[in-house]
Amino acid sequence: DILRRDEIVRWLGHPKTLETVEEAQAKIAGMAMDLPLSEWAFEIAATGVPAGPVMLVPIPRSEQPDGSSLVQIGWYAHPDATGQGYVTEAARAVLGYGLGSGLSEIRALTHTDNYPSMRVCDRLGMTYLGVTEDWYDDAPSSHYVVRAGQWPAREAVTR
């Protein structure tokens, strides 16, 4: 239901919305990666209803001298689950997992007019690094980072 909505897919760089069960199954099959990189579903605890995913994935074209890639966090949610803190809570858990699993830093890249995602980055206590055109061809990205040992996530909750 989520990835067949134009209002969500437009932020993701997907070529189109998913229309069939087979397309959705192929997307789900592609979510498996080597931990700590992965894509996790989150649900609304009170109802058990799936609300969306949060992911840690390599940033395209960001290969480092050691052969690794920079890592980004991403998310999207069903419209019924937005504006209630669910995305921030899920993303905070995934950031904690990624940093606790040995990642030295995690970045977030959002379209420059994706204000809801930028607000999530702010609530997470991520540091804004400005606008970049380094990794995605479709549009410039607002660029955020959180580094191990410097993450003020607990303090960011109160903003």
Dump the DSSP string for 44-79.
ETTTTEEEEEEEEEEEEEEE-TTS-EEEEEEE---G
* Residue 111, helix vs strand vs coil: strand
Q: Mean pLDDT across the stretch 100-119?
A: 92
Instruction: Name the residue with tokens 């997307």.
Output: 27
Q: Can you give the pLDDT at residue 49?
A: 84
First to last CA, the chain: 31
Q: Mean pLDDT across the stretch 106-121?
A: 93
pLDDT in tens, 5-52: 566 655 565 556 666 778 767 766 766 667 788 888 888 888 888 888
Please say if the pLDDT value at position 127 is more than 80: yes
- Residue 20 CB contacts under 8 Å (≥ 6 apart), including other chains: none
* Residue 43, helix vs strand vs coil: strand
Rounded Cα gap, residues 81 and 147, in angstroms: 28
Please say if the pLDDT value at position 3 is more than 70: no
**Predicted structure pTM score:** 0.78
Q: Can you give the pLDDT at residue 143?
A: 95
For residue 149, which of 103, 91, 109 has the smallest C-alpha distance? 103
pLDDT in tens, 54-100: 989 999 888 889 988 999 999 988 788 788 899 999 999 999 999 99
* Residue 132, helix vs strand vs coil: strand
Q: Give me the torsion for CA of 99, 100, 103, 105, rounded to 10°.
A: 20
Yes or no: say if 106 and 95 are a contact pair by the CB < 8 Å rule.
Answer: yes
Rounded Cα gap, residues 27 and 84, in angstroms: 26
For residue 143, which of 96, 106, 98 has the smallest C-alpha distance? 106
Q: Which helix (H) or strand (E) holds 110?
A: strand 105-111
Yes or no: say if 125 and 146 are a contact pair by the CB < 8 Å rule.
Answer: yes
